A and B are shown apart, each in its own frame.
Chain A
């Protein structure tokens, strides 16, 4: 378990600034909202039995907020949650599955739901809040049950996900973790994305706007990278390989080659 950090004056100022931005967003014209609540993107948390399924309680809300603030995506600011055997998961094609410890086997209905969710077009972000604690291993065990013919594989560094909105060089979360993400590919699409970086730990804030957990090895840049990766994952779920379209290539190549801190291009 990672200890919470005490609020600092800097954090309070930052929180106030972002709160003001949120207020501006909420008074934006009516076209900023979806027709119905179903049109908003829901960073929906996966509930499951036998483990700790809310290790970063505020993370989904923070990601939804960051998405609304940074992109044109219309998000549900109070994300919902659901078990994998809940039929309503097909109405929310993005699910966020977090944990910090191993958990017992899912029910057969949950396995069927997981399989159908990803094969019908859903995207699942798996976030290990305590890398090495057994959560990812348990998830991979359940993925092998649900999708026995599609193994977990390493996502190439040149994958669209790393340029779906931000140009991201390597994945980072609360911990710097491995330099790659893993994924289960279905029809060429990263349908399940697995992170061992505690992304939610970097996103989480308390009710006062303070970052809940310090990032390791530390620094605002790392936290910002974690947020950007979260934004990219959701934009990838929504746009798939849009950024692989030929029309984007010259722009991205130029920026990749601009000497910024994001390494070589794809």
Chain B
């Protein structure tokens, strides 16, 4: 029985010491007054005073002794078997050499005793899972991640009084020693080390910007470690998907680490999946930590727009004003301020005019723009014929192009049968069509075309009825570039209320489509600015103009938020086999919902191999929710949703015989199997030894582990707490009074 001593005064020991010193000083000083007395009397009074002071001190401070009285009682032992991935180390030298295999061997040795004594078995990684000794050892596979010994001990604390932890000691938890000690369990440990020194190169850690921007470098900082081999040089590869985009030669020190910084520049928005990889060395113990994947959420940085206008006009002015006002748009604009027929009445150096740098723009920098807008622009006077094929190529490769109407463009600009005319969603009338046919001059209120009500470009309001009213409330447009018909599967979004095209369909005012990988927009009027100032002047919603162009620009720039079909996972990172929850809104290219549609969710690896799949059905709004199981191997994966029946558009585009699934949307996610678990795979016997020491347990190695019965599972139980405060008794107080009285009487007699 162990106990503790304390003082029953505020401040405890400190107050007691202070009081003791004060009393001792008082006694010492008082003794001076006894100097004239004979020695015997002086001694007698001194002793009495000392005893009185001591008694007063003890009564005042109330020293107390307290102790727990406990009994040892037999308990229940549980075995905790580490099945984290670090236990696979050694398997490169053969299955029997892995830490896991040797731990299995230990289980086999303990099985008989365990079954007889009813010892329970748990496996653990992040936490503990109940198992049993009658389960064949081969069933214990080291696949768990993120070893947390303290969490595992906590998880079994209610089922056992002592645990036997069988582990390599590689733990990722925080404050493990303190937490295990606080659990109150006796913890015995069996250290599963390696047979031979570990030889391994590892990507121990990757730090990176979780959010990146298109065309802006993302910094990636990797920590590389090497164990059990002399300094050597390795080639660290950075991959986007399966494509090697950078390789860096790195010198790894002997038994140490080094840091490497790399940069990667995302090219499109969304989640970009990258991978760092080291070559697999022949003696490398763990191949899983030779790779680390990471996801960067790529957002659009500033949108780069090129606006070329054939002449200044209010349409040009208000569009430029809108584009310049948006801080997320980098605008490069060129307005033709003077034609060759204009008489400036000034020398060129009296003019603020600059040459139109067509070659720079369309030969050198075209690819750097997200969107190119031709606003009432005719190419012919600027000898731009040679650049039109480049514009077509730019759009085919994923650039976006918009042609905005006016008296200089569409058929009046001679775009029919040119590369630019071919990419438009509308067929342009021939170049020499009389102006009376190529242009209309009447005022009209455009209306939303059938089938376009869900398209974001004409969605001024989310409510369909309010949206129609919003369009009707806008100031009317004036004049229109007449086109022959839609082409390239273009979609009519706004149409003239009465005029028709060559096919007898309503004359398109706004049409959208795609060409190659790019998006294309055609607005056949130069008076969209009337949706702003004139509408506001009439008391209407003048903000409609900015909202229309904001959406138009974002749609052209492929803002993911405006994609017709979208799919997202609930997380970016999953453990092996975890449930991946998926949400999707599925609409076709015309933004019509895939209502009550049978679709297939699939998980694909980097090589496009299908790893998991399930069928699902959308609701009336094209929405879908579902779950899929994450793969068991680490890496980056795509989750895609396919439409079982290809659309009519797709069939028409690819031939009626093409019955392959139509890919609608996708997202990417990571499965981290190694992760931090294998970042430093060295076994840690010191931790296991400390755990045992702190909890009165025993530390063993595989070689010296004894039978289960040798591990003490008993637990001391506190029966009572004993408290003794001897100087608080009344008799002692009475004694103190007697001492004080005797001393007082003698002092009165002898001193006077």
Contacts and interface: CB of A to CB of B under 8 A. Distances in A.
B352 to A, nearest CB: 4
A245 interface: yes
Interface of B: 310-318, 320-321, 324, 332-339, 341-347, 349-354, 357, 378, 405-408, 412-413, 435, 439-443, 475, 478-481, 525-527, 530, 532-534, 536-538, 542
B311 A35 contact: no
Interface in A205-237: 224, 227-228, 235, 237
Contact of A251 (B312, B338, B354, B440): B354
Given A72-B342, A73-B311, 8 more contacts: A34-B479, A70-B344, A73-B312, A91-B537, A121-B532, A122-B533, A166-B346, A167-B349
Given A35-B481, A239-B320, A240-B320, A72 B338 contact: yes
Identify which of B311, B312, B318, B342 gathers the most chain A CB atoms within 10 Å of its CB. Answer: B312
Identify which of A89, A247, A248, A258 gathers the most chain B CB atoms within 10 Å of its CB. Answer: A247
A241 B352 contact: no
B727 to A, nearest CB: 85
A72 B278 CA distance: 62
B406 A163 contact: no
A252 B350 CA distance: 9
A30 B318 contact: no
B286 to A, nearest CB: 54
A1 interface: no
A166 B332 CA distance: 21
Contact of B314 (A35, A167, A238, A251): A238
B348 to A, nearest CB: 8
Contact of B317 (A163, A240, A247): A240
Identify which of B313, B413, B527, B536 gathers the most chain A CB atoms within 10 Å of its CB. Answer: B313
Q: Is the interface of A mostly helix, strand, loop or mixed?
A: helix
Interface stretch (A36-44, A45-53, A171-179): A36-44
B537 A116 contact: yes
A195 B375 CA distance: 33
A245 B309 CA distance: 15
Contact of A21 (B343, B413, B479): B343
Given A31-B407, A71-B342, A90 B537 contact: yes
A258 B321 contact: no
A131 B320 CA distance: 35
B729 to A, nearest CB: 88
Given A71-B337, A241-B324, A247-B332, A36 B537 contact: no
A251 B349 CA distance: 9
Contact of B412 (A30, A36, A228): A30
A66 to B, nearest CB: 9
A167 B343 contact: no
Contact of A69 (B343, B406, B407, B526): B343
B349 A260 contact: yes
A34 B376 CA distance: 10
A255 interface: yes
A135 interface: no
Contact of B405 (A35, A90, A235): A35
A166 B350 contact: yes
Contact of A28 (B341, B443, B481, B538): B341
Identify which of B310, B314, B345, B441 gathers the most chain A CB atoms within 10 Å of its CB. Answer: B314
A55 interface: no
A121 B537 CA distance: 10
B333 A245 contact: yes
A256 to B, nearest CB: 9
A55 to B, nearest CB: 25
Given A28-B341, A73-B312, A74-B313, A93 B407 contact: no
A70 B317 CA distance: 19
Contacts of A71: 312, 337-338, 342, 344
A150 B333 CA distance: 30
Interface in A174-210: none
B352 A165 contact: yes
Contacts of A25: 341
Question: Which 4 A-B residue pairs are closest in the complex by CB-CB distance?
Answer: A90-B537, A35-B479, A36-B479, A238-B312
27 contacts: A25-B341, A30-B412, A31-B407, A31-B412, A35-B407, A35-B440, A37-B441, A41-B313, A70-B343, A71-B312, A71-B338, A71-B344, A72-B336, A72-B339, A74-B313, A89-B537, A91-B530, A93-B533, A120-B532, A166-B350, A166-B352, A167-B351, A239-B312, A242-B335, A247-B357, A251-B354, A255-B350
